[in-house]
Structure 1
Amino acid sequence: MSRKPDLPHAFNDDAQDAVFLEIQRRTLFGLTGALLAGGLLSSLPARIAHALTEPLPNTVEGATPGGILEAVVHPEPPTLAFFINTSTPGRAVSSKIFDGLLDYGPDLQPRPQLAESVEPSADGLTWIFKLRKNVFWHDGTPFTSADVKFSAEVIWKEYAPTARRIFQHLTKVEAPDDHTVILTLAKPTPVIINALDVVAAPVLPKHLYEGTDIPNNPHNNNPVGTGPFVFKEWQRGSHIRLEKFGQYWQEGRPYLDGITWKIIPDVSGRANALETGVVQYGERNPVTFADADRLAKSDKLVVSTDGYNGFAGWLWLIPNLRRPITGNLKVRQAILHAINRDLLVKTVWGGYAVPATGPVSSLLKTFYTPDTPQYPFDRKKAEALLDEAGYPKQADGWRFKLNHDFIPFGDDYRRTGEFVRQALRAVGIDVTLRALDLATWTKNVFADYDFDLISSWGINWQDPQIGVEQHYWSKAESKGTPWFNASGYASAEADRLLEAAQTETDQAKRIALYQEFQKLAQQDLGLLNIFEFRWFGVWDKRVRNVTDTFNHSQHNFARIWLDQNA
C-alpha cells in the first residue's frame, strides 16, 4: 500500500482530518497577516495551510450598474496573447477578459478569484486549490479543474514567462474532481502565493487550446476568458471593445456595461481626450507631467499615484554584453557616471521618479537595501574609465559609436533617450537615437539581440523572484521572449544567490540572499539601473473604486462603476 501524503487533504484518515481542522482553525484566526508579511509566506515549517478567508463583498456601497467606460491604452498592444507577451498595454486589456486564480489588493494580500482557497502542505511541496463553482468561459463552456491542469502542465511550463520560472519545480498536477487541483513540487517554492494572478499564472480554456499551435492560436487575439468582460472587436489603430459578461461568476458584477479602449498615440491627444471627457480613464502616466499637474487642478478629474503599490517599476539601460564595447565593464561604469540621474528625474519625469540604487525598488521595503555600489554623476570619472577601457578620444572627438533604441512607449521615453544621448555625447560617445515601432523594437532586442544599448523598464512586483530575477538569472535567458535577460548577463555567483532564494523557506535568510544579490548586480552592471517610477493615473471623478487594486495595469474592473449622478 502506498504511503499517504503528508498533506491536509488526506480525507480518508480521521486522525489527519482532525489535525488539519485544528491547524486550519489556527491559520484562519492567527496566521493570515504573518503569512504575507514582507511579500512572502512566513517560515515554511511554521505554517501548514493558508486560506483566503475574506469573502468578496457582493455589492459596493452606492454603486449603480450601467455605462460604457471610455479608456485609453498606450501604446497599442502588440498582441492580446498575454500569456506569451506580458507587455503592459496587452496586460491592461487582457486582465478584464481573463481572471486569475488569485488577485491582490492594495495591501498586496491575496484575494480569491477563480480559486476560493489555497493550502500549501507543511513542507511546501504540495499546494491544494479549491476552485470556484458556477464559472463559465465566455463561450458558455464550464470552467473546471481540467482548465487549470492543462494551463499548469502546458502554458505555465512552456509559454508563460513568469510561470516558467516560478513553477520550474512543478512535477505533477492532479485534478481529483472538477473543482480541486493539487500541485506537487520537487522543491519548496514560497513565492507561489504571490504569483497566482492572471498574468503570472494564466489560466486558458483547455477546449480551445489543447492540441493546437498555441503561439498562433486564433483565440490569442480573439480571446475567450472567464473575466468580467467579453472581447468583441479590435480595430487596429482605433479601439478595442469589450462588453459585460452576463454569466460572470460574481452576481451583479461587473457594474459597467462595457469598456472601449481607445488607441491614441499622441500624448497631447490623450490629455485633450481626458480633459474634454472623450475618455474617462488612463493608467500608467497617460499624459505628460506638465499636463498631469494641470489636470490635477480640474474639478472633473483625478490625478493620483494610488493603486500602484504592487507595481514598483524601475527604468534601466540594457547593454548588449555580447558586444565588445558594451560588454566592457568599465564602459558600463562610465555610462552610469556620465548620466545626471537627479537632473533626469527632475526635468524629464517631472519629479514622478527617484534615482535607483539597484534592481530592487525602495518601495519593496522588505527586500530593498541601499548598501550597493553607486556611480554618481561625474563626467571626469566617466572619461577616465573610458580611457582605461581602451577607448580614448579620436581626432574627430569621438571614442566609439553606439545605437540607443528607446522603448517606444511614448514621449517620456523618447525624451529619456535624448537625455541619455546628450549625456553620453558629452563624454565622447557618439550615440544615434533610434525611434522604432514596438514590434520592430521587440524583435530586435529580444529575438535577434540586435542592439547596442536600449532603455526599457520592468516591475519588481511583490517579490524580486517575480520581477527582478528574469533580468539577471542566466537560465532566464529565452531568445524571443520579451523582457527576459536580453543583456546576456551570466554570473555563477548571481545564479547561486537567485537559485538559493527560490527555495529558501526562512524569511530572514531569503531577504539576506536578495540583498547580497543587489550588491552583486550593481557591481557587475548587467543592467544599468537609472530610476524608480512613481506612476500616476488620470480618471474622471465619476469613475469610482479605481484604486482598489495592487496594480492599475491589471485590475479586472469588476468593481469599478460610473456615478451617473455626480
Structure 2
Amino acid sequence: MRTPLGLACMALAASLASSAAADTPKKGGSLTYAVTAEAPTTDCHATTTYAAIHVLAPHYSLLLKVDADNYPKLKPDVAESWSVSADGLTYIFKVRSNVIFHDGTPLTSKDVKATFDRLRNPPTGILSIRQALFGDIVSIDTPDPSTVVMKLKAPDASFLDTLALPYNCIYSADRLAQDANYPAKMVMGSGPFVFVEHVNGSHWIGKRFDKYWQSNKPYLDGFRAIFIKSQAVVTALQGGQIQAEFRSISPGERTQLINSLKDRITVQESPWVCKIDLLFNTQAKPFDNLKIRQALSMAVDRWTASDALSKITIVKPVGGPLLPGSPLALSTEELAGLPGYGRDIEKSRAEAKRLLAEAGAQDLKFKLINRNVNHPFTPVGVFLIDQFRRIGVTAEHTQLDVSQQKSTIANGDYQVAIDAFCADTDDAGPLLLPYLSRERSPRNMTRNSNPQLDAVYEKFKQSTDEAARLELAKDMQRMVITDANSIPVVWYSRIVAHVTNMKGWKIIPSHFANQDLADIWLE
C-alpha cells in the first residue's frame, strides 16, 4: 500500500519551453544515452542494479507498472484490468490479447504464470533476488489464455506494488520450459524495443518493435546506450555524444551544464528512493560483535555528512531505512534518540570508543569495499574513512568496478562495504526487504538472522490498518538501526539532465521505473 510522498519534482532549464501537454509526439530518430556501469547479468529477476534495468526495460513488458505522470499510482501494462476479492486473498488479472513476444509468439496468461512462478519459487540454480516479496502467493492459476488468478495465504497491503516492480520482466513460458536460465543468455521480451546488439564495454542497441501492443508507440526508431564512466557524462552531453543520462548528475555538474548549454539542456530534480548503506559481514569476525558495529555507526556524523556532501555529490537527506519524509518513516526527532543519529557527535564518539574498548578492538583495521563510481560512492567513502579515524579506526579504501563490488558482497568476501540500496518504489515493504533474515531474503548481504524482525514484517505486510502499520514500521526501523548489521548513512537526491529536444520523459523518485523509453520522442 503506497501513499503519495509530497514530491517536489521540478524541471529546470535555461529558458522556458512549451509544456509537454501542448506538444504533439513525433516518430523517428534514435536516442543515445549513457549508462555509467555494466550489469553482471541480463536476467531481470536476478539483479538489483540500475545498469541492468536501464538497458533491459525497453525490451520487456510488466504486468502492471508505475504511472510516472501520477506517481505513485500504478497503471496497466500487460494486464489491461484487475480485481481484488473483499478478503484481499484473490487477485484476478485480465491479460491483453494483442501482446506479442519479439519472436512472434503471443503472450498469454501462461507466460505471466511462468514468470511469477519463477520469481516466487525459482528452479535450482536460478536466483530470484526478490523471492521473499512473493512468499504469500499460494497458487497461480490460468483458467484461460487471458486470465490469471493469484491466491494469497494472507492479505498483503503492498501486493500490487510488488507486482509492478520494474525487474519483474515477463518471460516466455515456452523458452523457460526449454531453459530456465534463458534470460541470462538472450534478451527476448515483448517490450517496445527489440534487442539488436550488446558489445561489452562499449554499447547496447535496440530498435523499435513494430508489433508492440501500443500501436502508436514507441516513437523512437531505436536507442543506443553507451557505457561510460560517470565522470565523462557532462563532457558527453556538452559534446553531443549523448542526449541523456537517467541515473543522476551532481549539483556541480548541473550548474556546469546549465551554464554551458543554456536552453539546450533541461534538468529535472526529485527526491530519490536510494540510500547509502554501510554493510557488515556478520559472518566475518570481528563484525559479528554488535558493539563494534554500533561503534562504527556512532562514529559517523550524518548531519555534517548531509551538509558537506550535498554540495559536491548526489546525497542530502538524513534518514533511517525508509525514505525521509515518507508517511511511515521515523521523524528527525525520533531518529535523534537512536545510536548514530544523535546531534552531539562528540558524545556519540566517546560512546563509540567505549564500545570498541569493551570489544577489545581499539586498534581496529579493515578494508572498506566500495564502488569505483564517482557519485556518490567516492566522496562518501572518503568521508566515512575520516569519520572512523576519529575514533581510532583505520579503514583502507578499496574501490572495485560495479560487477566486482557486487559479486564480492554477494559472495561474502568482505568485512565492511559501502553499497547503495535503491528501491523500485517508496513503499515500505521492498525498502525493508534487505534487513530480513538471510535465509528469507537473498537481498540481505550481511548474512544475519533476525526472527523478531521477520515476525514484525509479516504483521506489517498483512495489516490494512494505517495506525497499526505505522507503529509496526517504526518498530522495524528501530530494530534495523539498533542491530547495526546494515546501517543507513545518507539518502540520495536525484538530478537528471537531458537535451531539451528530448520529450515525453518525467522524473520520479525511482531511477528503476519509467525506463522502457516507450513515451520518449525527439523534437
- 5+ long unaligned stretches in structure 2: 6-20
Q: CA deviation at 1:380?
A: 5.8
The 1-side partners of 2:318 and 2:497 are apart by 25
**2:237 equivalent among 228, 252, 274:** 274
Q: In structure 1, the residue corresponding to 2:297 is in which secondary structure?
A: helix
Residue deviations 1:424-466 (CA, integer Å, cap 9, x gap): 123211211111222322222112x121111111134231212
1:15 corresponds to which residue?
A: none
Moved more, 256-265 or 543-552: 543-552
Q: CA deviation at 1:383?
A: 4.6
**2:447 equivalent among 485, 488, 493:** 488
The 1-side partners of 2:246 and 2:507 are apart by 14
The 2-side partners of 1:380 and 1:256 are apart by 57
1:196 corresponds to which residue?
A: 163
Alpha carbons 2:191, 2:212 under 8 Å: kept: yes
The 1-side partners of 2:266 and 2:234 are apart by 13
Moved more, 151-160 or 227-236: 151-160
1:468 corresponds to which residue?
A: 432
- 5+ long unaligned stretches in structure 1: 1-34, 40-58, 479-483
Q: In structure 1, the residue corresponding to 2:467 is in which secondary structure?
A: helix
Residue deviations 1:126-159 (CA, integer Å, cap 9, x gap): 1100011111001111111110111122233225
Q: CA deviation at 1:402?
A: 1.0
2:173 corresponds to which residue?
A: 206
1:399 corresponds to which residue?
A: 363
Q: CA deviation at 1:541?
A: 0.5
Alpha carbons 1:160, 1:200 under 8 Å: kept: no
Larger radius of gyration: 1
Are 2:475 and 1:528 aligned?
Answer: no
Are 2:390 and 1:444 aligned?
Answer: no
**2:324 equivalent among 359, 362, 366:** 362
Residue deviations 1:209-265 (CA, integer Å, cap 9, x gap): 114242xx3x42430111111111001111001111110100110001111001112
2:522 corresponds to which residue?
A: 562
The 1-side partners of 2:93 and 2:280 are apart by 42
1:32 corresponds to which residue?
A: none
The 2-side partners of 1:392 and 1:172 are apart by 49
Alpha carbons 1:160, 1:201 under 8 Å: kept: no
2:376 corresponds to which residue?
A: 412
**1:120 equivalent among 66, 72, 84:** 84
Q: In structure 2, the residue corresponding to 1:271 is in which secondary structure?
A: helix
Alpha carbons 2:363, 2:392 under 8 Å: kept: yes
Are 2:150 and 1:183 aligned?
Answer: yes
Alignment map for 1:144-155 (pairs within 5 Å):
144-155=108-119
Q: CA deviation at 1:349?
A: 3.7
Q: In structure 2, the residue corresponding to 1:296 is in which secondary structure?
A: helix
Cα gap change, 1:198 to 1:329, in 2 (>3 Å):
closer
Q: In structure 2, the residue corresponding to 1:534 is in which secondary structure?
A: strand
The 1-side partners of 2:381 and 2:127 are apart by 30
Residue deviations 1:392-431 (CA, integer Å, cap 9, x gap): 999xxx7121110013333531221122112212321121
Moved more, 343-352 or 195-204: 343-352
The 2-side partners of 1:118 and 1:361 are apart by 29
Moved more, 184-193 or 336-345: 336-345
Cα gap change, 1:346 to 1:36, in 2 (>3 Å):
closer
**What is the TM-score normalised by the length of structure 1?**
0.81
Cα gap change, 1:85 to 1:183, in 2 (>3 Å):
same
Moved more, 273-282 or 358-367: 358-367
Alpha carbons 1:391, 1:400 under 8 Å: kept: no
Alpha carbons 1:334, 1:383 under 8 Å: kept: no
Are 2:434 and 1:458 aligned?
Answer: no
Q: CA deviation at 1:477?
A: 4.0
Cα gap change, 1:65 to 1:198, in 2 (>3 Å):
farther
Q: In structure 2, the residue corresponding to 1:512 is in which secondary structure?
A: helix
Q: In structure 1, the residue corresponding to 2:213 is in which secondary structure?
A: coil
Residue deviations 1:171-229 (CA, integer Å, cap 9, x gap): 22111111110111222222111112253533111121114242xx3x42430111111
CA RMSD of aligned residues (A): 2.4
The 1-side partners of 2:247 and 2:44 are apart by 18
The 2-side partners of 1:364 and 1:157 are apart by 32
Q: Specify the code of the residue in structure 2 equivalent to 1:318.
A: L
Are 2:133 and 1:166 aligned?
Answer: yes
The 1-side partners of 2:292 and 2:360 are apart by 13
**2:45 equivalent among 83, 86, 90:** 83
Alignment map for 1:13-162 (pairs within 5 Å):
37=3, 61-106=23-68, 107-158=71-122, 161=128
Q: Specify the code of the residue in structure 2 equivalent to 1:195.
A: T
**1:507 equivalent among 431, 445, 466:** 466
1:10 corresponds to which residue?
A: none
Q: CA deviation at 1:388?
A: 3.6
The 2-side partners of 1:264 and 1:443 are apart by 21
Cα gap change, 1:156 to 1:244, in 2 (>3 Å):
farther
2:10 corresponds to which residue?
A: none
Are 2:255 and 1:293 aligned?
Answer: yes
Moved more, 343-352 or 287-296: 343-352
Q: In structure 2, the residue corresponding to 1:148 is in which secondary structure?
A: helix
2:225 corresponds to which residue?
A: 261
How high is the sequence identity, in percent, across the aligned residues? Answer: 23
The 1-side partners of 2:130 and 2:86 are apart by 22
Q: CA deviation at 1:366?
A: 4.2
The 2-side partners of 1:154 and 1:384 are apart by 47
The 2-side partners of 1:553 and 1:357 are apart by 21
Cα gap change, 1:366 to 1:494, in 2 (>3 Å):
closer
Q: CA deviation at 1:384?
A: 4.4
Alpha carbons 2:276, 2:419 under 8 Å: kept: yes
Q: In structure 2, the residue corresponding to 1:154 is in which secondary structure?
A: helix
Q: Specify the code of the residue in structure 2 equivalent to 1:494.
A: L
The 2-side partners of 1:554 and 1:147 are apart by 21
- Higher relative contact order (CA closer than 8 Å, sequence separation 6+): 2
Moved more, 517-526 or 327-336: 327-336
Q: CA deviation at 1:523?
A: 1.8
**What is the TM-score normalised by the length of structure 2?**
0.88
Q: CA deviation at 1:273?
A: 0.4
